[in-house]
Amino acid sequence: MTRKAEFVRKTNETSISASLLVEGTGQHQISTPIGFFTHLLQSFAFHGKFDLTLSATGDLQVDQHHLVEDCGLVLGKAFQLALGEARGINRAGFFVMPMDEALAIVAVDLSGRPVLQYQASFRRRFCGDLDTDVLPDFFQALATGLMANVVVRLPHGRSDHHKAEAAFKALGRALRLACSLDPREAEAMAEMLPSLKGVIDR
């Protein structure tokens, strides 16, 4: 099975295009005007083993909010389109990612209900050139585009760089598990939706 999608979103604030292959190897071509944010998205793609091309420009003369938030929305929408009806997938996934002194816990449920639970704090407002204040906006927009429950916890860490990067690595690995096909449903069960209700809002 090859699950892939392309999605483009253009507004008066941002212009973002994404191409996604779920069954990838972690290859990525990501271009944003925020260097550390680009690095985080690269880490996400590599650890999720998603082939991801993403290009983003936006009104940074205002601030970083619109661009970072809209990248989350476009990324989530690309996954939603690639997964289609989501038949036969695990649906939920989580990962606990240590990175030196930092620890990130991320869980994802492709439930059709967009909800974010976010608990994280940073010592500095900026990590590299990224405004850490907009990170919850990215995860909220991702949850909205993906129609998923997303949980992000950063309980430990001295380095803001390590904490943010661990979160994106954990997100990639948690989403990789959620998107993966359940081997027990490889044949007859592959047509079943992963919900007792028999319906997941997409």
Q: What is the mean pLDDT of the chain?
A: 94
Q: What per-residue confidence (pLDDT) applies to 15?
A: 98
Give whole-number Cα distances, 71 to 53, 56, 96, 131, 180, in Å: 12, 7, 24, 14, 23
119 and 64 Cβ atoms separated by less than 8 Å: no
Taking only the tens place, the pLDDT of each residue in 125-176 is 999 999 999 999 999 999 999 999 999 999 999 999 999 999 999 999 999 9
pTM: 0.93
Tell me, what amino acid is at 10? K
List of domains in the chain: 4-182 (3.30.230.40)
Residue 196 has a pLDDT of 60
DSSP H helical ranges for the chain: 35-48, 65-83, 135-146, 160-179
| Lowest-pLDDT choice from 11-15, 112-116, 184-188 | 184-188
d(CA 53, CA 38): 11
pLDDT tens by residue, 61-107: 999 999 999 999 999 999 999 999 888 899 999 999 999 999 999 99
pLDDT of 200 strictly over 90: no
Determine the Cα–Cα distance for residues 102 and 97; give it in Å rounded to an integer: 8
Q: What percent of the chain has pLDDT over 70?
A: 91
For residue 194, pLDDT over 70 is answered with no
**CA angle 73–1–80, rounded 5-degree value:** 15
Which pLDDT belongs to residue 188? 45
Cα 163 to chain centroid, rounded: 16
Question: What pLDDT shows up at residue 174?
Answer: 98
**What integer is the mean pLDDT of 185-198?**
59
User: Is the separation of the CB atoms in 73 and 141 below 8 Å?
Assistant: yes
